Structure 1
Amino acid sequence: MNSPKTEGLPIAGSRARKVVGFLIFCELASGFTQGFYPPLLKDFAAHLAVSDADITWFLTVQSLAAAVCVPLLSKLGDLFGHRRLLRIAVVSVLIGTLVTALVPSYPVVLVARVLVGPLAVWLPLEIALVHNRISGESARRAIGLLITFLTGGAILGTFTAGGISLFSPNITLTMLAPVVLVLISTFVVFRLVPESPARTATKVDFVGFAGIAVFMIAVLIGLRGAGDAGFFAPSALIPLLLAVVVFVGWVLWELRSPAPAVDVRLVASRRIGPIYLAALCFGMVMFGAQAQIATFMGSSPEREGYGFEATAGTISLVIGTITILATVGAALFSVLAARIGIRTVLLTGSVLAAVGHFLVLPLHGSFGGYLIAAVVQGLGYGLLLGALPARLAELAPTDATGIAAGVYNSLRTLGGALAGAIFAAMLGAALVAGTEFAGIEGYFGIWIFCGAAFVVCFAALLFVPRETPAERAGAERTGAERTDAASAGAGRPDADPTSTESGSTSDR
């Protein structure tokens, strides 16, 4: 029979790997759910008997809900436990996806989409769970895998939606596919994921969170109005002015609050502020420019004078290529960071993304050239996707990892919405007289904007603190130190049976 020491050694390491594996599955389900619905919107609109304009709110309502709930649930995770809030979020998404599939009433479906909004907080809570259990190189690899399976799940969801719709004429059965994965994720989170040990001992700033909600809703409604009617239309100007007023009042409140919803000083600090600025720029391009890829490629050279008259399949090939390469980049970032440093990885990702967008300017005339530019963009996206949240989690205070990651996700969402409205206005300003299509100069402006956004991203990341020698050495020693901790704790009667490689809470 093995001694307690030898018996406990593999248990700690395997436990940590299993927990990360369980969270990876949850991110696969999250990505699958996010990628599953967009290809089916046309069919779902017919099923619900609503117009194409109305069905756009199917995605917009979820974005609004996500923008509001991500910072709130992330902060509550720091206060009351990240697993506890992840359980609430996963149950909310389960109910929302189930109602979406089974209740063919558009108003009820919109309410269900609000319940799906907390899907966006899964990743921040999982990053906090990882960083409360493991650190150093192991944590980076784990976060890289979470991002990888999130983007991979989105690819899988997109292709699965198309495949199921071909063989299943029943839209209700088709829409049940995400429910299966979310249901398994619910079991995983309730039964197999341990709670995080760190807690923030403070009160909840409900006024601060209400301010975030009003601000985000006003901004997104204003940006939607700007995309439809221009920035100076009342439908855009009024909510955007309201957002400015609310934001100023919110900042003043947070600066005076003894327990702020978001530590404004920390967010704007020299330590992690550059990462947030980079996240905003990154989100503007990654989430804001997707529609322009489809409209440019689908344009006809004979009619518009540009584009490739691409089919939906060809367009999905290019978008899929970018997403797959982003997945590869996210998977490789921790390996590269171990060799050249995570700050260098961040800067490299920014350079690749900027170059990829500037390359479109001379190469947009051929499909091969456009694809080359897309490949460079995808690799840059992947390095940023993995390295930005990993470095943020390392620099944020231990008891604020959840809210730090939540603010990061919210800024990316906000950046995407802002850029989407800006790009719509740019194409609208470039409309050819007497037609409904934009001139090529509108797309030139978008590509230059995207490249410039990553130049700003690069400049911001120059101010991200370099890894200290202690951090680099700590990452190298991580495995050995945790092995010693596991061995030392294996024979203690008070050892935490759910502790991971970092040992039990008392070991800290």
Structure 2
Amino acid sequence: MSSTLKTPLVLAGMMLSMILASLDQTIVATAMPRIVQEFQGLSHLSWVFTAYMLASAVTVPIYGKLTDLFGRRRLLIIAVLIFLGGSMLSGLAQNMTQLIFFRGIQGVGAGAIMVNAFAIVADLFPPAQRGKVQGLFGAVFGITSVAGPLLGGWLTDSFSWRWIFYVNVPIGVVALAVIFAGMPRHAAAAHGNGERSIDYFGAVLLTATLVPLLLALVWGGSQYPWGSPEIITLLAVSAVALLGFLWRETKARDPIVTLSLFRNRVFTISVIATFLASLGMFGSILFIPVFAQGVAGFSATNSGLIMMPMMLAIVAGSMFAGQVMSRTGKYKVLAVSGLGIATLGMALFSQVGESTSQFDLIIRMVVMGVGLGFTMPIFTVAVQNAFSHSRIGEVTAGIQLFRTVGGTVGGAVLGGVMNAQLASKLIGIENHPFIVAAKQVSPGTPVVIDGNTIQTFLSNDGQAQIRALIAQAPEAIREQISAAFDQFLEILKTAFSQSIDYVFIIGAALMVVAFAASFFLPQLPLRKSHRPAAEELGVELDAAMGQSDKRHEPDILGKV
């Protein structure tokens, strides 16, 4: 088969694989209120996302090394199989703990899928042509982000939330078939003296850094006070592990994260901006359905429809930015403008409340979507362009690592913020007249007001059940209890809405920092071939890149 015919098949396999990984980041969002209601686990809501992102974050840099050393095809097939196994197990989960663990298995597969997808694009196209394809990949993510909430809501309302995981199986089977048919075996690239090594000890230290940090961020202010021994211990363990990780990376022959990458300003600025922007994106996707269902009272399907404008705007923004970058060779202006628009969108979201109309939500989502769409293809291409082709897997994994960690930390931090704010705003709620009346009507039945019961009170099904019980109360007090329940619901909705506002306020502040950082992003000419950047541009980009150019490897695509 000629390389001309291979290219579309390889891209098709990559896109189908990306559909798997990206669909599962969004299809779960609209089903989460139903899941946490069934498992009574609102306080652990963010961990369903965090486990997925954390597993992906820890494994991404390892995959980045493996894909350069052992080839893309083999790892991609393994990754898809791991992902499908995690999907089936997630659908079979019987409690929140099992679901969180199985989502972690999914994340292990998703990490390899993402690294392979972007690295193979770099194999097929030089930086000057890469923008259009990266924009297309961004559009694939946007399309799955549109389909995800809709499909997730429809499956949840029509069948069961478990089908949001089972639906991955047919997609994964098709993806595997295309990969087998269209992606030939890939010879491993030459590597130094021919020896291969993976810094597994560094991976352990990286895990020991991230897990305690995320636990502290999730539990701080909700389950434990910020100054409690538990939180301080977790942060101390994370800090010690981080120091150990940094030391290890300076000694390892093939480190997980080559610290010399940070000598390159393009890499450093891209990492900062990507990390912070992913916080904002994760916050918006995770908490918009929560707001729509918990405050506005939409069903799971309708809350998925609510998100469609933002996802369509992401598609349009990503494709537009990719085209402009490929035609003009300019990426900095797109990065600056995209982050500026996304910051404005996040600030607008911080003003939503009970009176926010559907039209107001649409305007906010379009603004946010355009800004995020602009940034999707930019930083990956900028970083790949700043280093020689021999390090594509490594630098792609580096930017993907911080994008994933940003989303992981964002879910933990923003989820913790919402839980802590909700708890502080509902102090004394157990003394509300409705709760007092409920205890009188059903003496001996404990009425606990926490995140889980709040989710039940705010759901349409939960309210219908409570009103049915009120209808059975003695006629003399029925109207009084009904009025007290309406007032109780308004208090819950106000507290829920204000807590989510805090999430977006913090997200807006982080996006401002990302926007400011983007002004320092160097604008380098986009290379028109796979030759080393220093050779083509006639300049030394930095000391680290100069070293990598001396050990430049043959074009990986030539060995496919």
Question: The TM-score by the shorter chain falls in which range?
Answer: 0.7 to 0.9
Indicate whether 1:86 and 2:76 are aligned. Answer: yes
What is the CA-CA distance between 1:103 and the residue it aligns to? 7.4
**Which of 52, 57, 65 lines up with 1:62 in the alignment?**
52
Tell me: CA distance 1:388–1:503, structure 2 relative to 1, closer, same or farther (3 Å). Answer: closer
Matched to 2:373, the amino acid is G
> Deviations for 1:260-319, whole angstroms, at most 9, x for unmatched residues?
22101213532311000011111111113444434555576xxxxxxx565555543333
Tell me: CA distance 1:343–1:226, structure 2 relative to 1, closer, same or farther (3 Å). Answer: same
Q: For structure 2, which runs of at least 5 residues remain unmatched after alignment?
A: 430-491, 531-553
Indicate whether 1:464 and 2:521 are aligned. Answer: yes
Residue equivalent to 2:315: 327
8 Å CA contact 2:146, 2:308 repeated in 1: yes
The residue correspondences of 1:200-215 to structure 2 (distance < 5 A) are 200-201=191-192, 202-215=196-209
| Higher mean displacement: 16-25 or 290-299 | 290-299
CA distance in 2, matches of 1:432, 1:44: 23
Matched to 2:259, the amino acid is V
CA distance in 2, matches of 1:41, 1:309: 15
Residue equivalent to 2:278: 283
The residue correspondences of 1:357-372 to structure 2 (distance < 5 A) are 357-360=346-349, 366-367=356-357, 368-372=359-363
> Deviations for 1:210-229, whole angstroms, at most 9, x for unmatched residues?
11121122222222222633
What is the CA-CA distance between 1:474 and the residue it aligns to? 6.0
Tell me: CA distance 1:200–1:176, structure 2 relative to 1, closer, same or farther (3 Å). Answer: same
**Which of 392, 402, 406 lines up with 1:415 in the alignment?**
406
**Which of 355, 358, 375 lines up with 2:366 in the alignment?**
375
RMSD: 3.5
Tell me: CA distance 1:418–1:94, structure 2 relative to 1, closer, same or farther (3 Å). Answer: closer
**Which of 250, 256, 259 lines up with 1:255 in the alignment?**
250
**Which of 423, 426, 431 lines up with 2:425 in the alignment?**
431
What is the CA-CA distance between 1:392 and the residue it aligns to? 2.1
Tell me: CA distance 1:360–1:181, structure 2 relative to 1, closer, same or farther (3 Å). Answer: closer
- What percentage of aligned pairs have identical amino acids? 20
8 Å CA contact 2:15, 2:137 repeated in 1: yes
Indicate whether 1:189 and 2:189 are aligned. Answer: no
What is the CA-CA distance between 1:179 and the residue it aligns to? 0.9
8 Å CA contact 2:332, 2:518 repeated in 1: yes
What secondary structure does 1:132 align onto? helix
Indicate whether 1:337 and 2:325 are aligned. Answer: yes
The residue correspondences of 1:15-54 to structure 2 (distance < 5 A) are 15-41=6-32, 50-52=39-41
> Deviations for 1:95-122, whole angstroms, at most 9, x for unmatched residues?
2223444676887666543331221331
8 Å CA contact 1:42, 1:52 repeated in 2: no
Tell me: CA distance 1:85–1:248, structure 2 relative to 1, closer, same or farther (3 Å). Answer: same
What is the CA-CA distance between 1:325 and the residue it aligns to? 1.2
| Higher mean displacement: 416-425 or 282-291 | 416-425
> Deviations for 1:98-153, whole angstroms, at most 9, x for unmatched residues?
34446768876665433312213311211111212221343222222222213322
What is the CA-CA distance between 1:59 and the residue it aligns to? 4.1
Matched to 2:380, the amino acid is P
CA distance in 1, matches of 2:95, 2:327: 54
What secondary structure does 1:231 align onto? coil
CA distance in 2, matches of 1:40, 1:442: 20
> Deviations for 1:32-53, whole angstroms, at most 9, x for unmatched residues?
333334444566678xx84335
What secondary structure does 2:257 align onto? coil
8 Å CA contact 1:83, 1:189 repeated in 2: yes
What secondary structure does 1:504 align onto? helix
CA distance in 1, matches of 2:505, 2:30: 29
Tell me: CA distance 1:42–1:338, structure 2 relative to 1, closer, same or farther (3 Å). Answer: closer
CA distance in 2, matches of 1:159, 1:439: 24
Matched to 1:208, the amino acid is G
CA distance in 2, matches of 1:242, 1:330: 39
Residue equivalent to 1:479: none
8 Å CA contact 2:339, 2:371 repeated in 1: yes
Residue equivalent to 2:64: 74
Residue equivalent to 1:154: 145
8 Å CA contact 1:132, 1:197 repeated in 2: no
- Structure with higher Rg: it is 2
Tell me: CA distance 1:176–1:441, structure 2 relative to 1, closer, same or farther (3 Å). Answer: closer
What is the CA-CA distance between 1:345 and the residue it aligns to? 1.2
Name the TM-score, length of structure 1 as normaliser: 0.79
8 Å CA contact 1:330, 1:382 repeated in 2: yes
Q: For structure 1, which runs of at least 5 residues remain unmatched after alignment?
A: 1-7, 301-307, 476-498
Name the TM-score, length of structure 2 as normaliser: 0.72
What secondary structure does 1:211 align onto? helix
CA distance in 1, matches of 2:28, 2:411: 19
Tell me: CA distance 1:55–1:180, structure 2 relative to 1, closer, same or farther (3 Å). Answer: farther
Matched to 2:233, the amino acid is I
What is the CA-CA distance between 1:383 and the residue it aligns to? 0.9
8 Å CA contact 1:432, 1:439 repeated in 2: no
| Higher mean displacement: 15-24 or 110-119 | 110-119
CA distance in 2, matches of 1:309, 1:97: 29
Residue equivalent to 1:317: 305
Total equivalences in the alignment: 461
Matched to 1:275, the amino acid is S
8 Å CA contact 2:29, 2:285 repeated in 1: no
CA distance in 1, matches of 2:79, 2:389: 22
8 Å CA contact 1:357, 1:448 repeated in 2: yes
Tell me: CA distance 1:336–1:122, structure 2 relative to 1, closer, same or farther (3 Å). Answer: same
CA distance in 1, matches of 2:64, 2:172: 20
Matched to 1:411, the amino acid is F
CA distance in 1, matches of 2:509, 2:183: 42
> Deviations for 1:404-447, whole angstroms, at most 9, x for unmatched residues?
23232332333234334444555535726645654977666544
Tell me: CA distance 1:386–1:160, structure 2 relative to 1, closer, same or farther (3 Å). Answer: same
> Deviations for 1:370-415, whole angstroms, at most 9, x for unmatched residues?
4323211110001111222222222244233223232323323332
CA distance in 2, matches of 1:183, 1:465: 42
8 Å CA contact 1:426, 1:446 repeated in 2: yes
CA distance in 2, matches of 1:167, 1:315: 15
